[in-house]
Amino acid sequence: MGATTTPNLSARHLRGAGTFDRGGITLKGTQDDDVRQHAHGVGTLVTASAGDHNHNDTDWSRVMRANGQYTMSSTDGGAANTEPNLNDAKPMLSAGAHTHTLSGFTANVGTTENRVYSYGVNWIIKI
């Protein structure tokens, strides 16, 4: 009989060719599966409360106030009080255990419709 022109439609959904309000498929064309555009809220996501930490190490364990007093400059109060006070350093304190609140939505992704992997056909209906 010769070569066949029957397409392999394994694992494909037959879809009528043409256009409609959410796009269309061409005759003998294919469309990949996809999900309609949508987003997700954060739901009940929470962070762990293991935030107790500080930033001191063996070399840096104190924090200084920038008030322009007792500075390296020749005049205290100079440079708009932005220089650190070398006489008033305090230990770095712990940040304490804490959590963070999440808000918002995930990215809005997808196409115009939910669909399975499709192959375009012309429907012939005999009445």
How do residues 64-114 score in pLDDT, each as one tens digit? 887 777 777 656 555 566 777 778 888 877 777 777 777 777 778 788 778
pLDDT score of 35 more than 70? yes
20-34, 49-63, 66-80: segment of lowest average pLDDT: 66-80
- Is residue 88 within 8 A of residue 70, CB to CB? The reply is yes
Q: What is the pLDDT of residue 31?
A: 82
Beta pairing, strands 62-64 & 30-31: unpaired
Domain regions of the chain by residue span: 11-38+105-127
Q: What is the pLDDT of residue 2?
A: 58
Q: Tokens in use for 51? A: 């935030």
pTM greater than the 0.75 cutoff: no
